Structure 1
Amino acid sequence: MNGVRYFSTLCVALGIAAIALPSQAFAQSTENGAEEPASKPAAGTELLVSTDSEGTKVSKLAGRALWSFNGKDDYAGIVVERAWFTPVAGEKQKFNRVYLDVANKLDDGWRWRARVGTDGKTVLGSAELRRADWSRSVFIEREIIETEQGLNRRIYYTFIGASTDIPVDQNSSLALTAGVQEFSGKNERLHLRGRFVQVLNEEVGLSAQMDLRYYHSTEPKEFDYFSPANFVRAMPILQLRRFNAGWMYLAAGGLGVQRSTGSSWQPARFAQLRIESPRSSKKIDAFVELAYSNDSIVGGLNYDHLQGRAGFTVAF
């Protein structure tokens, strides 16, 4: 599998789509037969900050300029990002990145989005094709490894996967995800995930979940990132999701167990808070999120990792 090749092909396809998109999205007929813009230009900013118990820090600040914005699922523009990486060992490094940022729909049932660009060395970013109801999706993402060797030796990963939801009954479902993660070097990692969701109170927005994750690495411990031969995690999760005037408020937390090759069973912890603007809004796209877990690709098990993200985009 060649992640760079897949991403290069994707960039060409998205470039053609981005050129064609505005001509279709900007014009719609009015009652008197004239045409008026269906989409507006927009601008915004995004921030990501993360840290862990060993002292590794990552900061990313991005400016977003869209020539076409018609809501969360319909836009086209560019993103310019400055990323700062401070690994637990080694010097702080800075990277400038530029991305093509596009999203649209194939028909009433399917949506696609992509943020694909470069740091001057290779292709980076992510892309996704999904059902409008989120029941099925395929995705790809590419990023650098945030360790000392990862930054100095330019070690990247490319992750390709797919997911599907299987309804069990009116109040429960099973979500399955499978993917392959290719790293610079020889290592390839098979990912499997299953999440059973049981709605406890639909009116309140409360659900109970059982999240199971497993991965296998073909070349364990190849570089300095966490890469055991096998990793497994089982975690019960409680999630509360409420809507108010279209805004989404989510709180989730879980406590379970995890184990990797050569270690005993250890506690696994997870927590998430997220606020998101209405999906139907054609004027703003805003979110703020805080997430915590104690497993990390940088340090492994019981390696506390805290990440905060926020973004705000407004149409003119």
Structure 2
Amino acid sequence: MRAAAAALLALLLANTAPAQTHAALGQALATDDTDGFHSWLIRGGALFEHASYLDYKGVAVQTTHYSQSGWSRDAPGIVGLWRDQRRDTLAGVNAEAGVVQVAGHTRPIGDATWSLRPAPGTGVELIAAGGLVDTRTALDRGIAYTLWGASVEQALGDRFTAIGFVGAQPFTDGNDRIHLRARFVWDALPEYGVTAQLRWRQYESRKSDVGGAYFNPDRYRQWLAGVAIRQRHYGWVWSGSFFGGE
């Protein structure tokens, strides 16, 4: 199972006053798995019309390097960023979108969410995402995916929340998946950002034979239970989780 070995996201601001309108953006991410597949991403860019961490526009260039047992491949790209969310409800847009090049192919990448709050305690999100399938064979073939979906969140009292998601995931190799997910969250220690969660997800693949390019069962189902923590300190967001299941 792949785990993030290091992650850093920093906004290097000259000051934190509301009048600040420009900022530099830097990000570094490294991953490793038990099969010896490694990757690292470096991203740098600039934010414009920067009012806060919830209100900015920007652009960044990046490159991702993949390697395994003497094999390697690079995927350079460019992305645009736009965030405009309310501080109290996080309703609004949080999006990044761009393109990368890999194995002679230009592929879309990104992660965009449009959040709505139609009623107190109720949230709706429209989601679009895209990226490369990060296995050796898939990268050599330039296989990528997009994901289109919607989720609904409903508060059940002061500390309980139920979340459901449905989505479609087409791949550039002709495969398609339909995703269903559900999550139940208990806000166990709100003062410390600690939650207990129960998660369920399943998907079905339309194409059973993908030539060994990536993990692709006809039907996949998973249950997980565990705890998660998320805290913000001095502009930094720290998060972690521990889950087990089948």
Provide the TM-score with structure 2 as the length reference.
0.79
The answer to whether 1:207 aligns with 2:188 is no
Match of 1:127 among 112, 121, 138: 112
Q: Is residue 228 from structure 1 mapped to residue 228 from structure 2 by the alignment?
A: no
CA contact (8 A) 1:159 1:181 kept: yes
After superposition, what is the alpha-carbon deviation per residue over 1:49-99, rounded to whole angstroms, capped at 9, x for unaligned? 1110001111110112123211122111210101111246x7201122111
- 1:70 counterpart residue number: 51
CA RMSD of aligned residues (A): 2.7
Residue correspondence of structure 1 range 72-87 to structure 2 within 5 A: 72-87=53-68
After superposition, give the CA deviation of every residue in 1:28-55 in whole Å (9 maximum; x if it has no partner): xxxxxxxxx9451110210111110001
Please give the secondary structure, in 2, of the residue aligned with 1:151: helix
Show structure 1 runs of 5+ residues with no match. 1-36, 258-316
- Contact preservation (8 Å) 1:59, 1:85: yes
What is the deviation of 1:117? 1.5
Give secondary structure in 2 for the equivalent of 1:119: strand
SS in 2 for 1:149: helix
Contact kept, 8 Å, 1:138 with 1:162, in 2: the verdict is yes
- Matches of residues 31-180 of structure 1 in structure 2 within 5 Å? 38-87=19-68, 91-105=71-85, 110-120=91-101, 121-131=106-116, 135-180=123-168
Matched, 1:253 2:234: no
Assess if the C-alpha contact under 8 Å between 2:82 and 2:94 holds in 1. yes
Alignment CA distance shift 1:108-1:242 (3 Å):
closer
Quote the Cα distance in structure 2 between the aligned partners of 1:220 and 1:180.
Answer: 16
Greater RCO structure (CA 8 Å; 6+ sep) = 1
Question: Distance in 1 between the 2:58 and 2:74 partners?
Answer: 24
Distance 1:61 1:53 in 2: 22
1:108 deviation in Å?
A: 8.3
SS of corresponding position for 1:135: strand
Q: What amino acid maps onto 1:194 in structure 2?
A: A
Q: Which runs of 5+ in 2 are unaligned?
A: 1-17
Matched, 1:182 2:185: no
Q: Taking structure 1 as the reference length, what is the TM-score of the superposition?
A: 0.63
Instruction: Give secondary structure in 1 for the equivalent of 2:137.
Output: helix
> Within 1, Cα distance between the matches of 2:80 and 2:60?
7
Q: Give the C-alpha shift of residue 189 in structure 1.
A: 0.6
5 Å matches for 1:242-281?
A: 242=231, 249-257=238-246
Secondary structure at the aligned position of 2:52 is classed as: coil
Rounded to whole Å, the distance in 2 between the matches of 1:42 and 1:243 is 19
Please give the alpha-carbon distance, in whole angstroms, between the structure 2 residues aligned to 1:130 and 1:178: 15
Aligned to 2:205: 217
Q: Which has the larger radius of gyration?
A: 1
Counterpart-to-counterpart distance in 2, 1:206 and 1:249:
12
Distance 1:156 1:181 in 2: 10
In structure 2, give the amino acid aligned to 1:152: D
1:216-253 CA distances to partner (integer Å, 9 max, x unpaired)? Answer: 11112313200001111111112344566676544421
| 1:87–1:147 contact (8 Å) kept in structure 2 | no
One-letter code of the match for 1:104? Answer: D
**AA matched with 2:113:** E
Distance 1:204 1:228, change over 3 A: same
